[in-house]
Amino acid sequence: MDELERLVDAYRMRTASSVASKLAVLMDLEQIRDPRVVRFLLKVFEDRNEPQDVRIHVLKQLRNGGGLLMLADRLPVAMCIGDVLVDRSTVDLRLQAAIALGEFTQIDGVLSRLNSVCLAQDESIDLRYAAFTSLERAGPTPECIALLRQMSNYETLGRSARSVLSAWHIE
């Protein structure tokens, strides 16, 4: 049994343990440079039974990379974060997911997911604006410009969309 397997087993044995105990194991696990670490972190992040603080910690690790993410990991990580953004997880977790997706705007499907949250009238303004700022991070790509133009006709974020387009010197 290698170090990664030992830490994964230690984490799994802490199902009823405190958040601090789980985070301690995760922090040790994050020091290991092995592609299996990302797969394990994604499982923890997707698990709705995990405490919110644990899921947010994992999300931040996945967002920041910290040497964990390889190019091949970016698509599954972005899709997993996008899934959490649009599901009915806690508001704080979804807010963090919206912010995290700003690191993945070049991946197909991310901008459309962010846009759908921006336009969702039943979502909180905080979540919608976090999605908007992540969408803006894509820069003046054709897809982002088209989405911002569409958004500029909506009441809530329309002024912000028009402001970004103007800053990019786009009508």
Q: What is the pLDDT of residues 44-80, one digit of tens each?
A: 999 999 999 999 999 998 888 766 667 778 899 999 9
- Of residues 101 and 14, the one with the higher pLDDT is 101
Phi, psi of 27 (to 5 degrees): -65, -35
Only one residue has tokens 């569409």, namely: 150
Angle value at C-alpha 12, between 7 and 18, nearest 5 degrees: 100
Q: What is the residue-averaged pLDDT of the chain?
A: 91
114 with 101: CB under 8 angstroms?
A: yes
CATH 2.170.130.10 fits 3-167, yes or no: no
- Under DSSP, the state recorded for 103 is G
- Of residues 11 and 126, the one with the higher pLDDT is 126
pLDDT reported for residue 66: 62
Confidence of residue 32 (pLDDT cuts 50, 70, 90): confident
Structure tokens at 102: 């700003």
Q: Percent of the chain beyond pLDDT 70?
A: 97
Domain ranges across the chain? 3-167
